[in-house]
Amino acid sequence: MPSLKTTITGIGLQNPLMLASGILDENGYTMKNILECGAAAVVTKSIGREERTGYRPPIVAEVPDGLLNAVGLSNPGIDNFGNEVGIALQAGKPVIGSIFGGTADDFLYVGKKMEEYGANALELNLSCPHVLGVGSEVGSDPELVEEIIGELKNKIEIPVWAKLSPNVTNILEIANAASKADAFVVINTVRGMAIDIYARRPVLSNAYGGLSGRAIKNVGIRYVYQLYKETGKPIIGVGGIEAYEDAIEYLMAGASALEIGTGVYSKGKGIFSEINSGISSFMESEGIASIKELVGAAVQ
Ligand SMILES: Cc1cc2nc3c(=O)[nH]c(=O)nc-3n(C[C@H](O)[C@H](O)[C@H](O)COP(=O)(O)O)c2cc1C
């Protein structure tokens, strides 16, 4: 039997699949349940310094081959999140704390608390496409990205992952500014919108949102390939993974681990075990013994 084990920034994973930030991960019990359903790790909902209610509905819309969302980074605030991390950790698998903020000081405050709560790594949301002053506004400012990551790397022990946005002109400029991060996570959602033609207005209350799901898979693969080739950094691939073939494409493009978000909506919680068994059968039939052999296998 081939081994699905992989390692990312020193964190051992039973298989390459993790839950992406924003899907069933604001609550400790739902995270624990996803881990029991075969995910190797979970990434929490992005948590900030203070509680945020987010936008009024509609905040999510189904579109062909994906979802459009503008949730508005609703979250309970870091001071109220320790219990949820503790419950998720009961599954005995890694929990990655996703955090956001507007300044290096915000990131440090929230990151320190996540570390104290027992998170195994931090994932910095430098890429949410629809909230002013945080997310991709921070992530498209190279000086600020460098300052945030420098500060965290000096003062935090656990690995720091930088989640980058596809909504920039030159992703390499931001990746270079984030070069002290231990890994890159690519991609967050792609900016988009939908119109209700009978109501003659945007579908989402915020008008603009982020597109996820199969519609963005090939955008994600391209960024993983480019960053693997140009930076050599460990990469976590995310965007439109819904079948084992998608997962293998991402691995061959250079990802060492993967995250699934929208696929949990479209396929249910069984998606983790289904994709893992598909990867395993593929490896067996192709004579591949370990995930390592797949990582970057298609990069020229
Ligand atoms: C409803 C929803 C909420 C999300 N919330 C977050 C979030 O809080 N932080 C974050 O970094 N990414 C968030 N994302 C982006 C996902 O983590 C992921 O990067 C993106 O959806 C692409 O992966 P997918 O096609 O597998 O969903 C969210 C996505 C969706 C659909």
Token pair 């509609």: residue: 58
CA of 5 to the centre of ligand 1 (A): 24
**pLDDT, tens digit, 9 for 90 and up, residues 32-60:** 999 999 999 999 999 999 999 999 999 99
What is the number of the ligand 1 atom nearest to the C-alpha of 20? 17
Phi-psi region of 189 (alpha: psi -120 to 50; beta: other; left: phi over 0): beta
CA of 23 to the centre of ligand 1 (A): 7
Contact assessment for residue 91 and residue 30, using Cβ atoms and an 8 Å cutoff: no
The domains found in the chain, sorted by start residue, are 6-54+76-191+213-294 (3.20.20.70)
**What are the residue numbers of the active site?**
128
The pLDDT of residue 134: 81
Nearest CA to ligand 1 atom 19: 188
The pLDDT of residue 39: 98
Structure tokens at 156: 């935090």
Global pTM reads 0.97
pLDDT < 70 positions in the chain? none
Ligand 1 pocket residue status of 60, Cβ below 6 Å: yes
CA of 285 to the centre of ligand 1 (A): 33
Residue 194 burial class via C-beta count within 10 angstroms: exposed 0-12, middle 13-18, buried 19 and up: middle
What is the number of the ligand 1 atom nearest to the C-alpha of 123? 11
